[in-house]
Chains A and B, each alone.
Chain A
Amino acid sequence: MSVRIALAGNPNSGKTTLFNALTGSNQFVGNWPGVTVEKKEGRLKGHKEVTIVDLPGIYSLSPYTLEEVVARRFLLEEKPDVILNIVDGTNLERNLYLSTQLLELGIPVVLAVNMLDLLEKSGDQVHIGKLKEKLGCEAVEISALKGNGVMKAAEKALSLAREKKAAPKPCPFQSRVEESLLRVQEELKGMVPEEQKRYFAIKLLERDEQIQKLLPRAVDAGGEIARLEEDMDDDTESIITNERYQYISSIMQDCCRKAARKDTLTLSDKIDKIVTNRILALPIFAVIMFLVYYVSVTTVGDWLTGWTNDTLFGEWIVPGVSSGLAAIHCADWLTSLVADGIVAGVGAVLGFVPQMLVLFLFLAVLESCGYMARVAFIMDRIFRKFGLSGKSFIPMLIGSGCGVPGIMASRTIESDRDRKMTIMTTTFVPCGAKLPIIALIAGAFFGNAGWVAWSAYFVGIAAIVCSGIILKKTRMFAGDPAPFVMELPAYHLPTPGNVLRSMWERGWSFIKKAGTVILLSSIVLWFLQGFGWVDGRFGMLEAEQLENSILAYIGNGIAWMFAPLGWTQGGEGWKMAVAAVTGLIAKENVVTTFGILFGYAEVAEDGAEIWTRLSAVMTGAAAYGFLVFNLLCAPCFAAMGAIKREMNNAKWFWFAIGYQCGLAYLVSLCIYQLGTWVTTGAFGPGTVIAILVVLGFFYLLLRPAREGSRRPAGMKMAAGGR
C-alpha cells in the first residue's frame, strides 16, 4: 500500500535536515504548481512505497503567505495519510502553535521533537510522555542532525497511516468559543467531511476569505462572529490565536521544567551581541559581503568560470569537437552547428556553473548558520523603501560580478513580491561582461574619462531605486509591503552535508531549467548570425561576412526603431542594433561584433582598434545612450534563463524582459534627445517626446503612495545631462 507522509514544521526547526535524513538521495525537487515555492518529494529509506512530501516551512495555516496557502491546500485537498510534524524542542511554545492547527485537519499527526539534546545542555527538560498525553497525538524525540530517532518517528507515522488510526483530538478552546464553533459546525453539515468540520468552522470564524471557495455553497458565519466578538470584546482572529497560545502555555507548564536561569548568555546570544552590535554590525557586514564577493566573483569563481569557458570549452572541447568532426569529413555547417552552436551553447550554460556553485556554497552557509536573517535585519531599513527586501542586497552585490548567480541568489528572499522585484532589477547593476562595453564607449567618445564607468554604476543603482519606487505603486506590486516580522534563529554551526546538498540542488536546477532556454536561444542566434545571402545565394558565412547574415537583414529591418536613439548616423544604425542583439549571447560580444562589422576579425577587449570608426558614426549623446541601453535592456540569455527559472511563470518572465527593454529604450531615448538638445541646441519633435517621457517618469515616481518617496534625483538627468 502506498503511503504519503507530509512533513510539516516551522522554518529553522530542522525540517530540511530531517527530510534529508529520511530520504537520503532519493529526492525530486520541483515547484508547487504555478508558484515559485519549491516542492520537494522523496522516498523513505528502505520503504519504496512511502512518499514523503516536504511542505514549505511555515509558522501557521493563515491565508496570507504563499507558503502557507500551498501547505494548506495540500493538506486539505490531497489529504496525506499522516502528518509528521517536526517541532524545535528549544522553541517549543511557538512551534506547537502550528501543531495545534495541524491537529485540526483530521489527519493523524506524529510529533517529532527535535534538538532536545541541545535543550538538555541548558538544563531544561521536556517530558515527551506528558506532551503525548496532553496533545493526544504520538510524539517521538529525535535529533535530525545526528539521525537519532529519525527512523523511529517515520515508522511511527507509517504505522498510524497503515492502521488508519482515527485523527487526533484537536486542542480544546474555552467553552464560549467552543459553543460558537459547534454552531458553525452545524451549518456545515454535509458540506465537508466530518473530520475537517472543525477546521472549516475555525476558518469561517476567523473570516478566512479563502475558505469560502472550498465550500459547495456560501456559509454565513457573520452572526456568530458578531455575537462571539461582542461577548469576548475582541475580534475572532485574535480570540482564536489567543486560545491556541493559552492552551500551549498550559501544556508547557506540565511538560517542561525550566532550569533556574542564572542570566547567562548562550553562545548564540554572545555572537549576536557582536554581529548585530550598533557600531560593529556594519563593518562586519561589509567584511562578510566583501569575502563572499571576493571569493565567489573575483577570485575562485572567476578562475573557475574562466577555466571552464576559455580552457575547458575554448581550447579543449570546442576545437576537439571541430577537429573530430573535420576528421570524419562532416559537412561544414554541421560542424559549425555542433561546435559553435550546440557545444558553445552548452558551454555558455556550464561556464557559469562552477562560479555559481561557489556562491551557492556561501549562501547555504550564511543561511544555515543564521546570518542571512541578520542581513535582512541590518539592511531592511534601506531596501524596503524601494519595495525590496533587506536580503536583496546580496543578489545585487553578486549581480555586479555576474547577473546569473545574482538572480539565483534571490532565492533566499521569502516574500514573493520582494523576490520578483529583485529578480527584475538585479541585472541593472553593470556585470563584469558589461565592462568592455563601458570601456569601448569611454575610449571611443569620452577620452577614457573615469566618470563614464562610475556613472554606469550610478545609472544601474538609480534604475533599481526608481524601478522599485515606480513598480511598487503599480497594480502588480500594490498592496501592503510584505510584513517584516521575522524570526532571528539562533546561530548554528552549518553541517557540511546540508550545505553541499543545498549548493548542488540550486546549481542543478539552474542547469536543468535555465539550460534549455540558454541552449535553444544560442542555437537560434548562431543560425541567424552564421547564415545569410552572399551574391544572391543563401548559405553559411565566414565570420567576416556578418554583414550579409540574416541577423544583419533583421538589423536593417529594425534600425528605424532605434532612429530616435540616434543610432542612425551614416546609415550604419543597423550595426548598433546587430551589436546589441549579439550582446544577448554575452554582453562582451557587443565589442567583438562591432569589430567584425567595422572590418576587424579580432579586437582588443576594449575595442581600441575601432574607436575612431565608431566615433564617426555616433555622437557622444547617442553613444552614451547606446551604453545605457546595453546596461539596462534584457540581459544575456544565461541571465534570462535564470530569470525564467526563478519566476517560474511565463507571464512574469516576459513582463520582466519587457520592462527591462522598455526602460532601456526610454532612458536611452531621453539621453540622446536631451543630450543633443543641451550640447547642440537642436530642438525637434524628439526632444518634446523626451521631455514628456521625463515628465511621465517623475509623475510615476512621485505620485502619492503610502510612504513619501524621496530621491527624485532622476537617473535621466544625471546620466544624460552633459
Chain B
Amino acid sequence: MKTLKEVPAGQTATVRRLGGDGAVRRRIMDMGITKGVSVFVRKTAPLGDPIEVTVRGYELSLRKADAAMIEVG
C-alpha cells in the first residue's frame, strides 16, 4: 500500500487508513487527516524533511516518518 510519504510534491492523494498510535496519530487525526479526506502534497522542506500538505483548506506540515503511517490510495 502506498503511503503519503511516497506521494510526490504537486499531487493529491486520498487517505485510506491511519497507522501508528498514541499522541502522534491522534494529533494527525485532530488536524483533519482522516479516512477519505484528500491531501495535496505541496512541497518538501529545503533540507528534505518535513513535508507541507494542504488538507481541508489549510497548510499543514508533518514529518516524513509520520507521513509514512498514512496509507493513501
Instruction: List residues of chain A with CB under 8 Å of any chain B CB.
Output: 59-60, 62, 64-65, 91-94, 97, 234, 237-238, 241-242, 245, 272, 276-279, 281-282, 373, 377-382, 384, 480, 483-490
CB distance from B55 to the nearest CB of A (A): 8
Whether A281 contacts B23 by the Cβ 8 Å rule is no
Q: Return A570 CB to nearest CB of chain B, in Å.
A: 52
Asked if residues B27 and A276 are in contact (CB atoms below 8 Å), the reply is no
Judged by a CB distance under 8 angstroms, whether B12 is at the interface is no
Chain B interface mostly helix, strand, loop or mixed? mixed
B56 A485 Cβ-Cβ under 8 A: no
Among B26, B28, B62, B66, the one with the most A-chain Cβ atoms within 10 Å of its Cβ is: B26
Query: Do the beta carbons of B30 and A241 come within 8 Å of each other?
Result: yes
Residue of A nearest to B48 (CB): A381
Give the contacts of B16-71 with A (CB-CB under 8 A). Answer: 18, 22-32, 34-37, 43-50, 52, 56-63, 66
Knowing A480-B23, A484-B50 are in contact, say whether A238-B34 is a contact too (CB < 8 A): yes
**Could you give 10 example pairs across A and B, Cβ below 8 Å?**
A62-B23, A94-B56, A238-B18, A245-B32, A278-B43, A377-B45, A484-B61, A487-B59, A487-B60, A488-B60
Asked, given contacts A485-B24, A487-B59, whether A278 binds B46 with beta carbons under 8 Å apart, the answer is: yes
Name the distance in Å between B19's Cβ and chain A's nearest Cβ: 11
Given A62-B26, A237-B29 in contact, is the A381-B47 Cβ separation under 8 Å?
Answer: yes
Q: How far is the CA of A474 from the CA of B50 in the complex (A)?
A: 26
A484 adjacent to B66 (CB under 8 Å): yes
A529 CA to B50 CA, complexed, in Å: 53
Q: Of all chain A residues, which has the CB nearest B28?
A: A485
Q: Are A486 and B60 in contact (CB under 8 A)?
A: yes
Contact: A59 with B30, CB < 8 Å? yes
The 6 closest A-B pairs by CB, nearest first: A60-B30, A64-B23, A281-B46, A488-B59, A483-B24, A381-B47
Contact among A242, A282, A373 with B34 in the assembled complex (CB-CB below 8 Å): A242
Q: Which of A65, A234, A378, A485 contacts B60 (CB 8 A)?
A: A485
Q: Given the interface contacts A93-B32, A276-B52, does A64 sit within 8 Å of B61 by beta carbon?
A: no
Are B66 and A485 closer than 8 Å at their CB atoms? yes
Q: Which of A241, A488, A490 contacts B61 (CB under 8 A)?
A: A488
Contact for B37 among A60, A91, A245, CB less than 8 A:
A245
Report A-chain residues with C-beta under 8 Å of the C-beta of B66. 483-485
Given A94-B56, A488-B61, check contact A381 B31 (CB 8 Å). no
Task: List residues of chain B with CB within 8 A of the CB of A490.
Answer: 58-59
A282 with B32: CB separation less than 8 A: no
In the complex, the chain A residue whose C-beta lies closest to that of B33 is A485
Q: Does the CB pair B31–A487 fall under 8 Å?
A: yes
What residues on A are CB-neighbors of B45 within 8 Å?
276, 281, 377-378, 380-381
B64 to chain A, nearest CB (A): 9
Hey, which chain B residues are within 8 Å of A279, CB to CB?
Answer: 46
- Is B46 within 8 A of A485, CB to CB? no
A485→B22 CA distance, assembly (Å): 13
User: Contact at B63–A380, with CB atoms within 8 Å?
Assistant: yes
Where the two chains meet, the residues of B that have a C-beta atom closer than 8 Å to any C-beta of A are 18, 22-32, 34-37, 43-50, 52, 56-63, 66
The chain B residue sitting closest to A381, CB to CB, is B47
A91 to B59 alpha-carbon distance, docked (Å)? 10
- Distance, CA A277 to CA B42, complexed state (A): 11
> Cα distance A59–B31 when bound, in Å?
7
Q: B61 near A97 (CB under 8 angstroms)?
A: no
User: Do A242 and B35 touch (CB < 8 A)?
Assistant: yes
Contact partners of A480 in chain B: CB under 8 A: 22-24
Q: CA of A483 to CA of B31 in the docked complex: distance in angstroms?
A: 12
Docked-complex contact A245 and B34, CB < 8 angstroms? yes
- How near does chain B come to A372, taking the closest CB pair, in angstroms? 13
Q: How far is the CB of B46 from chain A (nearest CB, A)?
A: 4
CB distance from B61 to the nearest CB of A (A): 5
Bound state CA distance, A185 and B25, in angstroms?
26
Residue among B18, B45, B46 having the largest count of chain A Cβ atoms under 10 Å: B46
Q: Which residues of A contact B56 (CB under 8 A)?
A: 93-94, 245
- Knowing A93-B57, A378-B45, A480-B22, say if A238 contacts B52 (CB, 8 Å): no
B58–A94 touching, CB < 8 Å: yes
Chain A residues, CB < 8 A from B30: 59-60, 62, 97, 241
Contact present for A91 and B57 (CB under 8 Å): yes
Say which residue of A238, A277, A485 sits within 8 Å of B27 (CB atoms).
Answer: A485
> A380 and B50: CB pair below 8 A?
yes
Q: Is the CB of B47 within 8 A of A378?
A: yes
Q: Which of B32, B47, B61 contacts A382 (CB 8 A)?
A: B47
Residues of A within 8 A of B26 (CB): 60, 62, 64, 237, 241
A278 to B46, CA, bound (A): 4
> What is the bound-complex CA distance between A92 and B24, given in angstroms?
23
A238 to B30, CA, bound (A): 10
Smallest beta-carbon distance A244→chain B, Å: 9
Contact between A487 and B34 (Cβ–Cβ < 8 Å)? no
Question: Quick one: which of B24, B44, B58 contacts A91, CB cutoff 8 A?
Answer: B58
Contact A97 B50 (CB under 8 A): no
A245-B32, A377-B45, A490-B59 known, 9 other contacts, Cβ within 8 Å: A93-B57, A97-B30, A242-B36, A276-B43, A279-B46, A377-B50, A485-B60, A485-B61, A487-B60
The CA-CA distance from A242 to B56 in the complex, in Å, is 13
Residues of A within 8 A of B58 (CB): 91, 94, 487, 490
Min C-beta distance of B52 to chain A, whole Å: 6
Residue in chain B with minimal CB distance to A281: B46
CA–CA, A373 and B35, complex, Å: 26
Q: With CB as the reference atom, state the residue of chain B lying closest to A488.
A: B59
Most A CB within 10 A of own CB, among B35, B48, B62: B35
Q: Name the A residues within 8 Å of B62 (CB-CB).
A: 484-486
Tell me the bound Cα distance from A281 to B45 in angstroms.
9
Min CB gap A14→B, angstroms: 14
Interface pair A64/B27, CB less than 8 Å apart: yes
Distance in Å: Cβ of B68 to nearest Cβ of chain A = 13
How far does the alpha carbon of A480 sit from the alpha carbon of B28 in the complex, in Å? Answer: 15
B32 → chain A closest CB, angstroms: 5
Knowing A276-B43, A276-B45, A276-B46, the reply to whether A377 touches B52 (Cβ < 8 A) is yes
Complex Cα gap A377–B52 (Å): 9
Roughly how many angstroms separate A382 CA and B63 CA in the complex, as a whole number? 12
Q: Which residue of B lies closest to A380 (CB)?
A: B50
Residue pair B61, A486 in contact (C-beta under 8 Å)? yes
A94 and B24 form a contact (CB under 8 A) = no
CA distance A204 to B41 in the complex (A): 35
Asked whether, in the complex, the Cβ of B34 is within 8 Å of the Cβ of A485, the reply is no
